Chains A and B, each alone.
Chain A
């Protein structure tokens, strides 16, 4: 039981490049989330998926798109990366009250 897994662990992009962050969970949770963490800002919700087939915007969705591929997988796409998207990205999943987080993807955009 791996919990929530994320790939890649690290990534460096140039401004304007695109990439997809992958997330998978093996806990059979219905809900999945993408957060970003910046110094002094805590974690902020980017997008979430309450159940398979649904997605919705969180607090900071601009510049991102998501896909809930199936119940296990929830991906985050940056179409045209900007330096302001340099951050640590965490995927999480939950069934009831408290989400469980993955190990994170550290992204730098130069």
Chain B
């Protein structure tokens, strides 16, 4: 079983829809949770970063972490065609030199059609 599981999709939604992307994990040591967006043939771009449990909002994006359930989510409101990309969840135990040692999910391919 992988440490981080993410539904690869693909997910196709109409413009304006609310999108929910999710990951589950098994390592209870994870404390830092990130969502990256990756356009085709580009590097991952950091979207959201959350420490421990709770919610974080940034414009149309909301990240949620539930450590008790080992479950994280990314919500995209009013989705746009420009949101079409692969979304990767990533997490680390952090501490000392471990911050950038990320464990990634497989990525979810999202298409928002006009």
In the assembled complex, which residues on chain A have CB atoms less than 8 Å from the CB atom of B49?
A: 97-98
User: Which residue of chain B lies nearest to A94 when distances are taken between CB atoms in the complex?
Assistant: B100
In the assembled complex, which residues on chain B have CB atoms less than 8 Å from the CB atom of A104?
A: 41-43
- The proximity string for B residues 51-70 relative to A, scoring 1 for CB distances below 8 Å and 0 otherwise, is 10000000000000000000
Interface size class of B (residues with CB under 8 A): 20 to 34
User: Which residue of chain B lies nearest to A6 when distances are taken between CB atoms in the complex?
Assistant: B43
With an 8 Å Cβ cutoff, the count of chain A residues facing the other chain is 27
Distance in angstroms from B83 CB to nearest chain A CB is 19
Instruction: Return the 7 tightest CB-CB contacts between A and B, nearest first.
Output: A50-B97, A42-B104, A94-B100, A101-B43, A99-B100, A43-B104, A42-B106
Q: Supply 9 A–B pairs (Cβ within 8 Å), ascending by A.
A: A42-B104, A45-B102, A48-B100, A48-B101, A51-B97, A94-B99, A97-B94, A98-B100, A101-B45
